[in-house]
Amino acid sequence: MLSERILQIQPSATLEITARAQAMRAAGLDVCSFAAGEPDFDTPAFIREAVKTALDQGKTRYGPAAGEPVLRKAIAQKLHQDNGLTYEPEQVFVTNGCKQALYNLVQVMIQPGDEVLIPAPYWVSYPEMVRLAGGVPVLVTTSRETDYKITPTQLAQAVTPRTRLLMLNSPNNPTGVVYCREELLALAQEILRHDLWVIADEIYEKLVYDGMEHISIAALGREIYDRTLVCNGFAKAYAMTGWRVGYGAGPQAIITAAANLQGHSTSNVCTFAQHGALAALQGPQEELHRMRQVFSERRRVMVDWLQTMPGLGLVPPAGAFYIWVDMRATGLTSTQFCQQVLEQYQVALVPGRAFGDDQHVRLSYATDLATIEKGMARLAAYVGNLAPLSVGEGKR
């Protein structure tokens, strides 16, 4: 009854822990959760107001599958201003979150059997998107020793005659790392040398800290621009996760194909939500800066705590709102670690297994400082009790 295609994909490895944390909460336990994958802020008021106005103005009907023309134009302007990328509005398509842009692009770019390079750890959906398109995910494993970044040599070594595409995510979920210009240039050279394409997932672009700058790989030269599909969205920067508005931009033939696919599957993104997204781009950006500052402070507090814990290691993250913690010195799997800390200390973390690495756990600081202080004290107590097992160092 079920198709082979769908049988190949895995259910989310994070569901079990999240469900257990919710059950514990429902039972009245005080759970500190560092599992969130979304900002804990409300969507800024001026964006919500813009949607109310759009509703009153009757922006409630079907629209073009590729998006409201006014929004495609505004996104093209944004990509020019913020990222130094020049696209015609027709080279932009509006999607149900960044996720649908990624999904559609993989669908239209991959032939059965094509290999897609995915740096690991990876965002959970990449390998499944590739499998659903009939492609073969090829993991390129990063480690703490290389700051969780792939190197050009690794990239070159992973290439075969079937390799077509690289999925590149910077700032990164789950590691929080941000590739700098030189690193991207070196990767771009390899991509061009091997005649590959890149899907650049830039959904966390606005969440970078310590003066770090987000660079789009597509901005590094005409040749790499021609080989890159940029994906982004409103979810993380503007606290709009539930709105489901994202976009993709790139070479016209590919964008047209991806928009066609959308025309036969989901059609246009909710029309009035698109008007909210338009307001987000055109309105004041102060809220965005304020949210970033709050995230930055929480990140500092969490990193400080983690660096005192024996047996845990980390690369201080420069972007997104996650910390990727190396717990291999504990001798536990990521699932065991997460289960124990949840059952014994009521702290919810996400096991690295979900991201293709069973020796790390992901902590999100998209939660308030009081929860961070309380949860970190509990985690320190848990790790302190494990300490005799630990063989690794805590600091880096």
Ligand X SMILES: Cc1ncc(COP(=O)(O)O)c(C=O)c1O
Q: Which residues would be at the binding site for ligand X (CB under 6 A)?
A: 37, 97-99, 123, 169, 173, 201, 203, 233, 235, 241, 246
The whole-angstrom separation of Cα 269 and Cα 100 is: 10
Nearer to ligand X, 98 or 332 (CB): 98
Nearer to ligand X, 168 or 383 (CB): 168
Nearer to ligand X, 130 or 329 (CB): 130
Q: How far is the CB of 28 from ligand X (least distance, A)?
A: 29
Q: How far is the CB of 97 from ligand X (least distance, A)?
A: 2
Amino acid at 135: G
The whole-angstrom separation of Cα 300 and Cα 285 is: 23
Q: How far is the CB of 14 from ligand X (least distance, A)?
A: 11
Q: How far is the CB of 3 from ligand X (least distance, A)?
A: 24
Tell me 43's DSSP state: P
Nearer to ligand X, 36 or 85 (CB): 36
Q: How far is the CB of 350 from ligand X (least distance, A)?
A: 11
Nearer to ligand X, 94 or 159 (CB): 94
Locate 297 and state its tokens. Answer: 């402070």
Alpha-helical regions (H) of the chain: 4-7, 15-26, 45-56, 69-83, 97-109, 125-132, 152-158, 181-193, 222-225, 252-263, 271-282, 286-307, 334-345, 369-386
The whole-angstrom separation of Cα 142 and Cα 217 is: 19
Q: How far is the CB of 375 from ligand X (least distance, A)?
A: 21
Closest CA to 167 of 209, 120, 205, 207: 120
The whole-angstrom separation of Cα 389 and Cα 115 is: 40
Q: How far is the CB of 207 from ligand X (least distance, A)?
A: 11
Closest CA to 240 of 283, 209, 210: 283
Closest CA to 166 of 217, 112, 95, 98: 217
Q: Which residue's Cβ lies closest to ligand X?
A: 97
Q: How far is the CB of 246 from ligand X (least distance, A)?
A: 4
> In this structure, is the dihedral angle defined by the CA atoms of residues 132, 133, 136 and 141, taken in order, positive or negative?
negative
Nearer to ligand X, 173 or 262 (CB): 173
Nearer to ligand X, 118 or 159 (CB): 118
Nearer to ligand X, 143 or 241 (CB): 241
**308 CB-near residues (< 8 Å, 6+ apart):** 380, 394
Nearer to ligand X, 40 or 373 (CB): 40
Nearer to ligand X, 233 or 317 (CB): 233
- φ, ψ for residue 318 (rounded to 5)? -105, -5
The whole-angstrom separation of Cα 198 and Cα 109 is: 11
- 46: exposed, middle or buried (Cβ count in 10 Å: 0-12, 13-18, 19+): middle
Q: How far is the CB of 348 from ligand X (least distance, A)?
A: 17
**Could you give the angle at the alpha carbon of 290 between the alpha carbons of 284 and 294, nearest 5°?**
160
Q: How far is the CB of 321 from ligand X (least distance, A)?
A: 10
